[in-house]
Structure 1
Amino acid sequence: MNFIKRANILQFLFLLLVLSSCMKEKKIEISEIKDADLPKGTLPKMKPLTNEKPKLTAEYINTTRNSIDSFYRKNWPNNSMNGGFLVAKNGQIIYEKYEGFANFRDKTPITCDTPIHIASVSKVLTATAVLKLVNAKRINLDAKVTNYLKEFPYPDVTIRMLLSHRSGMRSYAYFTDRDKTVWDRHNTLTNQDILTIMRTKNIGLEQKTGTRFAYCNTNYAMLALIIEKVTKLSFREAMSQMIFKPLSMTHTFVLDFDKDKHNVAPSYKGNRVEIGIDYLDKVYGDKNIYSTPRDLLKFDRARNSPSFLEPTLLKQVYTGYSNEHPGRKNYGLGIRMINWENGKSFYFHNGWWHGFTSSYITLKDENVTIIALSNKYTKSTYAVRKLAPIFGSYPFKVEDE
């Protein structure tokens, strides 16, 4: 009897082992499925970049760190940054600084784990979610917006035009501010409110759709609604499931305005006067993502992974769509760029909202990431582009001491 029981137990344990092995194999298979082949209802997710290039030598790190430190002391004298700053190559952090206070009232210091509002750098993340859905064939890049948002009042605007700022729409900050019959500023504006206003208040276009580039936050507020429509999740949850959780961006989130508006780091004018919350602070997609330099490094490396997008789609992301006026500056699908005559291209996005300033730079040829975030207004955040010549033939001037 004991022998039979023992045999049954051993058989049960063997079955558990087999089932566990099968489940592990199934997980591996799902993770390797291309976005376009995912089962219906399964969201495409960002994947961390693995197999980074060889480790940097100690000599290279020390030499490069000294050059960056010289720039840092010149750009932010007397440790005046009040934010976070990071430079990495091949995913390895070469230089990192955190200075100042997240909150001047209680002297909460800014550390590597302090989430700061990344302002319009949020657009890069919103565009990334849209592009993953395009890659998974849940969104058609050249489909009309009306295919997804039935009440959208501009019939010729496509998803590509929203991403590249060629829709011709007006900024919601202007048409809700200038006329009280359009919106009562005592009420907090939402993304759905913007859509409803455009449909019901006869908000005309700024210029004819598709005729020229015009940077406009309304484009990305609409993209956030499209993400919600396609995923059947809130923008906050969709971004978490598709980007933040898969990349272990543990200090990154879309602001839950009603719950956490008083729990996040506030922003300040250059003289340290706190800037209060206003009626536009609930709108997301164009802004309202909080993050850290380390989390944005994870995000940038994932965008440089071969699994990010199919090659034909990736090429379109880094193609300039603002060509009606010849020049070096251009805009792709959710990314700014500068294209020089020497063939070099510089990809980046800056942000500014209230006192928050941000800069995200990805030097694709050199596998370099540069991130600067601040919650006390300063234009010095944007000067970090001058570090690019340390790594490649970018015609920016690096300021010496």
Structure 2
Amino acid sequence: MNFIKKTKILHIFLLFLILSSCAKEKKKVEINDAQLPKSTLPKMKPLSKPEPKLTAAYINSKKQEIDSFYKKNWPNNSANGSFLVAKNGQIIYEKYEGYANFRDKIEITKSTPLHLASVSKVITATAILKLVNAKRIELDQKVNTILKEFPYPDVTIKTLLNHRSGMRNYAYFTDRDKTVWDRHNILTNQDILTIMATKDIGLEFKTDTRFSYCNTNYAMLALIVEKITKLPFKEAMKQIIFEPLGMKNTYVFDYDKDKDSAVTSYKGNKVEIGKDYLDAVYGDKNIYSTPRDLLKFDRARNSATFLTPALQAMVYKGYSNERKGTKNYGLGIRMVNWETGQNFYFHNGWWHGNTSSYITLQKEGVTIIALSNKFTRKTYDVRKLAVLFGDYPFKLRDE
């Protein structure tokens, strides 16, 4: 009997230990789940206060002049894209015409996302700047402290942003030598990094000695966003910029998912331009958006909550002063600086048949956006409209 009692007591004791252990484990799991870190990504914020309201008379007077320019720049409804002019976030004029797809006669509307080409760089730079502002990274931080296989020790985040890294354009070093890359394979951002690290791709010039516009810089910035946020670039951009600003018709192109559904690109004669091996690379390009979404983005970038004043000033400072001239480049933005003290900030884009122009007149609170998926250089002529709002030395009309 004593043996049986002892055995029962032992069994009860063991059962108690097992149940107790399970309860602790369950409790431990519940605590861990509850303590999972929430997203700490910095997020863009829309303007908190409404901007000064425009009068109907002001809107009508500007609308007439813009309409006259539009009809002269794109006669006989020859534009194929979207166009918007706004002041203080209020739309003065917008126009959408032509086709997203000529074959299926799908019309371009205010909600049709078009390829931004290199205007994408402004948005990529914005995500990086928000991470800098949140002290997740530093402007002068060496890239190889983030991307461990990055082979150029002197290149910093800042020299990627202002195109002073000295790196070569990936479109060139992957195109000219089959031992470097087989163009039958789709190239990715990570492939570019691996190639530079393993194929002895030297710098074009010593880092930070001169300016050279290079798409590779922004392909690497996109990888940095991914590394720091631990998210795919398209998801990080959604969380940092697109969703907080209500940019519902903006997205980062996913080659596998979007290649058959994205707006088609055309030559000037309406011949379709297909995708090629470079079309999966993002950061330097491959963001699709609309003028209305970009207007939200522009006003948020011009708000007091975008960056600290010191960092904001660095964005609009010119870093390419090797030669005397008016053209310059800041941190993700092009500029023209005249001796009068007037400054003009913008970014253009061109990829396949897509052309784009983003203009932000900061002093006047004016946003000008033109996008086209049928190749035309007339997209860039919208800079002339700046003369309607401030003292800019452009000619609105040819004399």
How far 1:337 sits from its partner (Å)?
A: 0.2
- Distance in 1 separating the partners of 2:376 and 2:93: 20
How far apart, CA to CA, are the structure 2 residues paired with 1:97 and 1:58?
19
Give the match for residue 250 of structure 2: 252
Q: Residue 234 of structure 1 aligns with which residue?
A: 232
- 1:56 corresponds in structure 2 to 54
Aligned residue runs from structure 1 range 112-191, under 5 A = 112-191=110-189
Residue 79 of structure 1, aligned match among 63, 77, 80: 77
CA RMSD, aligned part only?
Answer: 1.0
Look up the SS of the partner of 1:299 in the other structure: helix
Number of residue pairs aligned between Structure 1 and Structure 2: 363
Aligned equivalent of 1:286:
284
Q: TM-score, normalised by structure 1?
A: 0.89
1:53 to partner: Cα distance: 2.6
2:352 is aligned, of 343, 351, 354, to 354
Cα distance per residue 1:255-304 (max 9 Å; x no partner): 11101111011100000000000000000000000000000000000001
Alignment partners' CA distance in 2, 1:52 and 1:352: 34
> Shift of residue 230 of structure 1?
0.2
Counterparts of 1:283-362 in structure 2, within 5 Å, are: 283-362=281-360
8 A contact 1:74–1:399 mirrored in 2:
no
**Aligned counterpart for 1:392 among listed residues 390, 393, 397:** 390
Greater C-alpha radius of gyration: 2
- In structure 1, the partner of 2:379 is 381
Partners of 2:47 and 2:327 in 1: CA distance: 29
Q: CA deviation at 1:41?
A: 4.9
Distance 1:88 1:149 in 2: 40
- Aligned amino acid, residue 287 of structure 1: K
Task: State the identity as a percent.
Answer: 76
Residue-by-residue CA offset, 1:232-266 (whole Å, 9 max, x unaligned): 00000000000000000000000111011110111
Could you tell me whether the CA contact under 8 Å between 1:70 and 1:400 is conserved in 2? Answer: no
Q: Distance in 2 between matches of 1:94 and 1:188?
A: 42
Match of 2:44 in 1: 46
Q: Residue 199 of structure 1 aligns to which amino acid in structure 2? A: A
Runs of 4+ with deviation above 2 angstroms: none
Query: Is residue 2:128 matched to residue 1:108?
Result: no
Taking the aligned partners of 2:236 and 2:324, their CA distance within structure 1 comes to 38
CA displacement at 1:108 relative to structure 2: 0.2
1:212 to 210, 213, 216: 210
Over 3 Å counting, the alpha-carbon distance change for 1:227 and 1:245 in structure 2 is same
Return the letter of the residue paired with 1:149. L
Q: 1:211 Cα deviation (Å)? A: 0.6
Contact 1:142 1:160 in 2 (8 A): yes
Cα shift at 1:40: 8.4
The secondary structure found in structure 2 opposite 1:338 is: strand
Q: Secondary structure at the match of 1:69?
A: helix
Note the alpha carbon deviations across 1:85-115, whole angstroms, 9 max, x for none. 0000000000000010000000000000000
Unaligned runs of 5+ in 1: 1-38
* SS class of match (1:86): strand
Please give the TM-score of this superposition, normalised by the length of structure 2.
0.90
In the alignment, what sits opposite 1:12? none
| 1:192 shift after superposition | 0.1
Q: Secondary structure at the match of 2:85?
A: strand
CA distance in 1 between partners of 2:373 and 2:60 (Å): 29
Shift of residue 63, structure 1, vs aligned partner: 0.4
**2:107 aligned partner, one-letter code:** P
Deviation (angstroms), 1:208: 1.0
Residues 54-105 of structure 1, C-alpha deviation per residue, up to 9 Å, x if partnerless? Answer: 2101110010001101110111111111000000000000000001000000
Give, in whole Å, the separation in 2 of the partners of 1:259 and 1:63: 45
Aligned twin of 1:370: 368
Q: What amino acid is aligned across from residue 304 of structure 2 in structure 1?
A: P
Aligned to 1:99: 97
* Alignment correspondent of 1:196: 194
Contact 1:146 1:155 in 2 (8 A): yes
What is the CA–CA distance in structure 1 between the aligned matches of 2:83 and 2:128, rounded to whole Å? 27
1:359 is matched by which residue type in structure 2? S
Task: Describe the SS at the equivalent of 1:178.
Answer: coil
* Equivalent residue letter for 1:362: T
- Counterpart of 1:5? none
- How many angstroms does 1:52 deviate by? 3.0
- What's the offset of the Cα at 1:386? 0.3
Inter-partner Cα distance in structure 1 for 2:67 and 2:39: 48
Deviation string, structure 1 residues 8-41 (Cα, Å, up to 9, x no partner): xxxxxxxxxxxxxxxxxxxxxxxxxxxxxxx985
Question: Can you list the C-alpha shifts for 1:315-360, whole angstroms capped at 9, x where unaligned?
Answer: 0000000001110000000000000111110000000000000000
